Structure 1
C-alpha cells in the first residue's frame, strides 16, 4: 500500500487522525494533514482505507502495491 495526500484539498477536519493516528497527524498551526508514513504496515491498511473514505475533502489517496 502507498498513500498520497493532496494537501491543498485538505480541510483540516481531522478524521484521518482519529481513525489512523499512527499514519496521519495534523500540523499545530493550521490543522492540515501530515502523512507520517507513505507505506504503512499491513496491520494499518484497514484503518487507512477507512480514513480515506471518511475524509470529507477526498484528499487521501490509497494505492495497493
Structure 2
C-alpha cells in the first residue's frame, strides 16, 4: 500500500518528518511529502500516520 500525504490537510508541523525522516521530507511549501523510492513499509510510517494531528497521512 502506498503512503499518501493530503496537501490540503497538511499543516507543515513536521511531526512525520521528525518521526520518520527516511520516508518523509518537506516540499517547497514546507509541507510533508513522501520521498521517492523510500521504504514505505518501515514501522515509523505507521507511527507518523497515527501521530498526524490533521489525519493528512494515509495508506492507499
**TM-score, structure 2 length as denominator?**
0.81
Mark the runs of 5 or more structure 2 residues left unpaired by the alignment.
none
Larger Rg over CA atoms: 1
Shift, 1:30, TM fit: 2.9
Q: Residues of 2 paired with 1:59 and 1:38: CA distance?
A: 20
Would you tell me which structure has more helix in proportion to its own residues? Answer: 1
Deviations 1:5-64 (A, max 9, x none): 11111000100000110100113x53211210476254x1x100000111111000024x
RMSD: 2.0
Secondary structure of the 1:4 match is strand
**TM-score, structure 1 length as denominator?**
0.76
1:32 and 2:31 correspond = yes
Mark the runs of 5 or more structure 1 residues left unpaired by the alignment.
none
State the aligned residue count. 60
